[in-house]
Amino acid sequence: MLVPGATEGGRTVSMGNSSTAKVLGIGSVDLKFPSGRILLLKRVHHGPTLVRDMD
């Protein structure tokens, strides 16, 4: 989930199969680990139509 302060997207992401997806937001994401450590990822592009089956 993007943390508060995310900006609006207005961009697109191009994939290897030549398709594109809209970016709805750009922001930061906190990854919290069981050890208590937090990793902050900045300038993360949120494209909800980007999906990948993990099976």
Sheet containing 38-46: which strands, arranged edge to edge? Answer: 7-14, 20-32, 38-46
**Predicted confidence (pLDDT) per residue in 22-55, tens digit:** 888 888 899 999 999 999 999 888 887 877 655 5
CA dihedral 37, 42, 45, 51 (to 10 degrees): -20
The domain segmentation of the chain, as residue ranges, is 7-46
Check whether 7 has a pLDDT greater than 80: no
pLDDT of amino acid 41: 93
Q: Does pTM top 0.85 for this prediction?
A: no
pLDDT of amino acid 2: 55
Other CB atoms within 10 A of residue 8 CB: 9
Other CB atoms within 10 A of residue 55 CB: 3
